[in-house]
Structure 1
């Protein structure tokens, strides 16, 4: 019935999801999973962990689609935030920290190979090019917060700059990035 996103509007897709229509979910997954996987992989640096995080995120999306509010942003932005938050939560969890400490050298090599795949998936949506248009001081903060999972306070401490400066740069960067996604 639905083959691509071009056959229905975002509002119709959200309606399908809110009605728990499995075809709508398949359409959502088929059209967004690759890009979201690339972003999650860039955060967690492990293919198997990225797959787990993406699965968890899609379960959250399915269960919590009623929390999506179109007046606050696009569906993609909401999906991105769910995936990003799920990845960061996983990185911060005790089980991940413990597992990460005992990870073998083979896994480290695998993670390095996965980074090149991340790059191509992120490049697919042009996110790197858009982020590259930011001022260097904004770009580094966006990298820490959105791709490394730091809080604004942690970024301020890491870069040895005031928290207010971090918040201002984040706001400016987000406003700049919004222009590209309109």
Structure 2
């Protein structure tokens, strides 16, 4: 009978996860589920949906653990991004369902020349908008928000002072606020 290991170093945990060891996945769940659930709840704001997203997240982690790369960030950052992205995908799916329209219910006479196109935020290509920023800013946004690096990891990776990284990210977020016409502070520096 194998006894479950009570503590792992990060490298041991990664190795055990990649070896598909049940104890490692149990350890991962026991030690990280509450933090992931908190992030998921902040995004989906519904306990039932959060439970579904949590299950989907751990399934994705289990199926995709081989794609985790130690050089790109910590294991926690990676699983946090998996959970966050799964929650955002669920939110987008729910939004899409809420905003879907049956074309049978719209009369041709209602579709005149005065129809205004307002895109659904979930359909906006954020990466394309970020790519319009200066390269020194867009690379930082890409690394931090799309790839999950911490500010410290970006500073080290790009050989830039941490203060420079943070101020460029802040400036980039301000430019994105202007592009989106966002007056509140829903886009925050991580």
TM-score scaled by structure 1?
A: 0.55
Q: Is the 8 A contact 2:41 2:50 kept in 1?
A: yes
TM-score scaled by structure 2?
A: 0.53
Q: Is the 8 A contact 1:2 1:8 kept in 2?
A: no
Partner of 1:45 in structure 2? 45
Q: CA deviation at 1:159?
A: 1.2
Among candidates 151, 159, 173, match of residue 182 of structure 2: 159
Q: CA deviation at 1:46?
A: 0.3
Q: Deviations over 1:36-65 (max 9, x none)?
A: 001000000000000000100000000000
Q: Which aligned pairs between 1:62-73 and structure 2 lie closer than 5 A? A: 62-73=62-73
In terms of fraction of residues, the more helix-rich structure is 1
Unaligned ranges ≥5, structure 1: 102-133, 142-151, 161-168, 175-182
- Work out the CA distance in 2 between the residues paired with 1:64 and 1:71: 16
- Give 3-state SS (helix, strand or coil) of 1:159's partner: coil
Partner of 1:88 in structure 2? 88
Q: CA deviation at 1:2?
A: 3.6
Structure with larger RCO (C-alpha < 8 A, sep 6+): 1
Unaligned ranges ≥5, structure 2: 101-165
Question: CA distance change for structure 1 residues 154 and 98 in 2, over 3 Å: closer, same or farther?
Answer: farther
Q: CA deviation at 1:8?
A: 1.6
Question: CA distance change for structure 1 residues 8 and 52 in 2, over 3 Å: closer, same or farther?
Answer: same
- Give 3-state SS (helix, strand or coil) of 1:91's partner: helix
- Greater gyration radius: 2
Q: CA deviation at 1:96?
A: 5.3
Q: Is the 8 A contact 2:5 2:23 kept in 1?
A: no
Q: Deviations over 1:142-180 (max 9, x none)?
A: xxxxxxxxxx968841416xxxxxxxx97xx45xxxxxx
Q: CA deviation at 1:76?
A: 0.4
- Give 3-state SS (helix, strand or coil) of 1:14's partner: helix
Q: Is the 8 A contact 1:43 1:88 kept in 2?
A: yes
Question: CA distance change for structure 1 residues 45 and 158 in 2, over 3 Å: closer, same or farther?
Answer: farther
Partner of 1:26 in structure 2? 26
Q: Deviations over 1:72-126 (max 9, x none)?
A: 1100000100000000011111x5543699xxxxxxxxxxxxxxxxxxxxxxxxx
- Work out the CA distance in 1 between the residues paired with 2:95 and 2:84: 16
